[in-house]
Amino acid sequence: MKISTKGRYALRMLIDLAMHQENGYISLKEIAERQELSKKYLEQIVPLMNKSGLLKTNRGFQGGYRLSKPASQITVGEVLVLTEGSLAPVACLDDEENTCPRRSECITLPVWEGLNKVIREYLFGLTLQDVIDSAVSADGSDYCI
């Protein structure tokens, strides 16, 4: 599994919003400047985050974006599934039910199921707030991602 630029940028954008939540609605221009990201690329990510209900939007003067719920309630896994689709390490684990015709005789299936379990437990057990807290405690000061 390799996380795309879209997934990495979406995560950075949402963490930036979480870190600046007290400033109200934040423009994409501000996020792009702080994170040294392309504003155009962020514009492509916003619809995914809006559609999922992770963002609140305010148009017009003083417009921008903010998280729709606390950073402690948004998992890294949730963000990556929105941008990447399935996080499964092999195609046969993409769906709820494994419909692979070889599943009953596949000697490697337990390896992939174990890896899938570890990936899901880790990413869905890690919130945006956890990432922020970890970064701040590692540095001992405010952190810019």
The parts of the chain modelled with pLDDT lower than 50 are none
Domains in the chain (CATH in brackets) are 5-139 (1.10.10.10)
Provide the pLDDT for residue 136.
80
Contact criterion met (CB below 8 Å) for 66 and 122:
no
Written as one letter, the residue type at 22 is E
Closest CA to 67 of 16, 122, 3, 131: 16
Q: Is the dihedral of CA 18, 23, 24, 30 positive or negative?
A: negative
Angle at 79 between CA 99 and CA 85, to 5 degrees: 30
What confidence tens digit (pLDDT) does each residue in 56-75 have? Answer: 998 887 789 999 999 999 99
- State pTM to two decimals: 0.87
Provide the pLDDT for residue 141.
55
Between CA 125 and CA 111 the distance in angstroms is 21
Written as one letter, the residue type at 115 is L
For the chain, helix (H) and strand (E) counts, in that order, are: 6, 2
